[in-house]
Structure 1
Amino acid sequence: MTRNIEHALRSTVAEPTKQDGRSARWEKHKQQRRTELTDGTIDAVRTLGPEVGMDEIAAHIGVSKTVLYRYFADKNDLGIATTVRFFETTLLPRLTEAITDDVDEYVLTRTVIGVYVNAVADEPNLYKFALAGSGTSAAATADSEKLVAQLLGTAIVMRMVERDADTSGAEVWAYALVGGIQRAVDWWMSSRSVPVADLIDYLTMMVWSSIVGIATVNGSKEAFTASPPPLPWVATDDTSGDDDDEMMEIVDDIGGDR
């Protein structure tokens, strides 16, 4: 199972290469040069910050800006390449190292979330530039979400096929979960209002609860719609209005944080 997951991860982040005869040699050189320049960009962002410009990136690498534009259409193109490279050099090695055994679904879920959160927490400048899209256009953000969603969708399908479950909604679930996680991490990276461990716990609660709900109906939207799981209700002592007062305090606290 671990080998299958690793293969899926590598397939997700692999960049396509052209194989068209005489141009193959140029394409190989171009990809190698793009990789070198992308690695230089990563170092520049780590050193100079996420708002670094093309002139500063070129100077840091030791090339002219013309060279950058020879291999990248614009800063957005460079940002997308940086996103892919971040997956190849940072996330992928950490994921394949963490997932070493045939672990159960809960451990797998928590491990993947923990690896992702810790990776971006360790690389705030690179995350803002390559993944959060602050240094590039919205296309880079969409591209990064697509990569993560493909990764997660592959893992979901693999596990659900083992259970003979309906996988029709896998792509929808993957994008919903990835979008929620990325938006939560975006918020957290700017505020850091809770410890890293707590963020991982809360995200695991959300994702695992979704997975359990889907697994309960074996992936069937018809079964879920026909009999949606009820919300558990905790019995309380109604002899006083303490519960209402506590609820109002919670609402006031949430409103005060805005």
Structure 2
Amino acid sequence: MTPNRPSPAAAARTAVTAAANVTRGLEHALRSTVTDPTAKPDGRRRRWEKHKANRRTELTDGTIDAVRALGADVGMDEIAAHIGVSKTVLYRYFTDKNDLAVATAVRFFETTLLPRLTETITDDVDEYTLTRTVIEVYVTAVADEPNLYKFALTGAPSSVATADSEKLVAQLMTDLLVLRMSERDADTSGAEVWSNALVGAIQRAVDWWMTERSMPVGDLIDYLTMLSWSSIVGIAAVNGSRQAFVAAPPTLPEPAGTDHPVPGGPASDHAAAGDPIENAT
């Protein structure tokens, strides 16, 4: 590791902090649904807004307990009864069940996922180990909370909770990619595209796995790491350059037991040019 170069863990912690800031910004936006943005601020109003924010957090924590105890399909009446309030109280702080689901997703990230990431990121790991660690933390966090995951992070394709949960993780990955690639003077123009593509793929795979459970969780983590790390290595090989990649895409390895390039693949098109990664500029 070169002098003055942040460690992978330091870069990851910076990204976690950035994601936490996004989380807090999202929760602030959610709280605005129960306030009047046109009202003039004063001391009494600020105290009341603080009370409402604290009460909203208490109700969200109560909802998490209710979902854990009663299941992902729990209704607003059941949630209110479990918390010990009326349904009217819930609707005073949340516009509807979807709003409550979004708040639950944000709280899940704040209290479960982000602390686990911070605790497991250490200074003595390389980029590959860090990549696998981030995936492992995410997968095990949701695997440990199947009811909460279904309630807060999944649902209809248009679910706001799903979109915002992906946004938070994609923000973390984007910040991490930009930090690491900038140290290499690489082109970071595609960082948001790559981050959202990888996070979307991981989330869809986890959604599928949470329903099917067709393989051990360790296998899922290995396969997701295989996909993500291969993508990162491929991007790094061309220094993030879209032009270099398009000009000389990497070749597929030859099938075992053959001496010929993959028919119709880039290997046959670029074999005469030598190693495309070496030739890319």
Name the TM-score class by shorter chain. 0.7 to 0.9
The reply to whether residue 14 of structure 1 matches residue 14 of structure 2 is: no
Query: Percent of aligned positions with the same letter in both sequences?
Result: 72
Gap change, CA 1:61 and 1:181, over 3 Å in 2: same
Q: Unpaired segments of 5 or more residues in structure 1? A: 239-258
Q: Which amino acid aligns with 2:105?
A: T
TM-score, length of structure 2 as denominator length: 0.80
Structure 2 counterparts to residues 148-159 of structure 1, below 5 A: 148-159=169-180
Structure 2 counterparts to residues 8-47 of structure 1, below 5 A: 8-15=18-25, 17=28, 21-22=41-42, 23-47=45-69
The reply to whether residue 173 of structure 1 matches residue 187 of structure 2 is: no
1:35-56 residue CA offsets vs partner (Å, 9 max, x unmatched): 1000000000000000000000
The answer (yes or no) to whether the contact 2:60–2:107 under 8 Å persists in 1 is yes
The answer (yes or no) to whether the contact 1:12–1:151 under 8 Å persists in 2 is no
Residue matched to 1:53: 75
- Distance, in Å, in 2 between the alignment partners of 1:9 and 1:46 is 25
TM-score, length of structure 1 as denominator length: 0.86
- Distance, in Å, in 1 between the alignment partners of 2:168 and 2:20 is 11
Match for residue 125 of structure 2 among 88, 103, 110: 103
Q: Which amino acid aligns with 1:45?
A: V
The answer (yes or no) to whether the contact 2:15–2:173 under 8 Å persists in 1 is no
Q: Give the Å deviation of 1:137.
A: 5.9
Structure 2 counterparts to residues 239-250 of structure 1, below 5 A: none
Secondary structure class of the residue paired with 2:239: coil
- Distance, in Å, in 2 between the alignment partners of 1:231 and 1:137 is 37
Gap change, CA 1:84 and 1:137, over 3 Å in 2: same
Residue matched to 1:121: 143
- Distance, in Å, in 2 between the alignment partners of 1:228 and 1:24 is 57
- Distance, in Å, in 2 between the alignment partners of 1:3 and 1:119 is 18
Residue matched to 1:69: 91
Q: Unpaired segments of 5 or more residues in structure 2? A: 1-9, 260-281
> What is the aligned residue count?
237
1:124-146 residue CA offsets vs partner (Å, 9 max, x unmatched): 00000111136x96122111111
Q: Which amino acid aligns with 1:146?
A: K
The answer (yes or no) to whether the contact 1:133–1:141 under 8 Å persists in 2 is yes
Gap change, CA 1:102 and 1:29, over 3 Å in 2: farther
- Distance, in Å, in 2 between the alignment partners of 1:43 and 1:76 is 17
Secondary structure class of the residue paired with 2:119: helix
Q: Give the Å deviation of 1:151.
A: 1.4
1:141-195 residue CA offsets vs partner (Å, 9 max, x unmatched): 1111111111111111111111111111111111100110011001100111010
Residue matched to 2:14: 4
- Distance, in Å, in 2 between the alignment partners of 1:5 and 1:101 is 15
Match for residue 194 of structure 1 among 215, 226, 239: 215
Q: Give the Å deviation of 1:26.
A: 2.4
Q: Which amino acid aligns with 2:51?
A: H
The answer (yes or no) to whether the contact 2:15–2:172 under 8 Å persists in 1 is no
1:195-248 residue CA offsets vs partner (Å, 9 max, x unmatched): 01100000000000000011111111111101111111134169xxxxxxxxxx
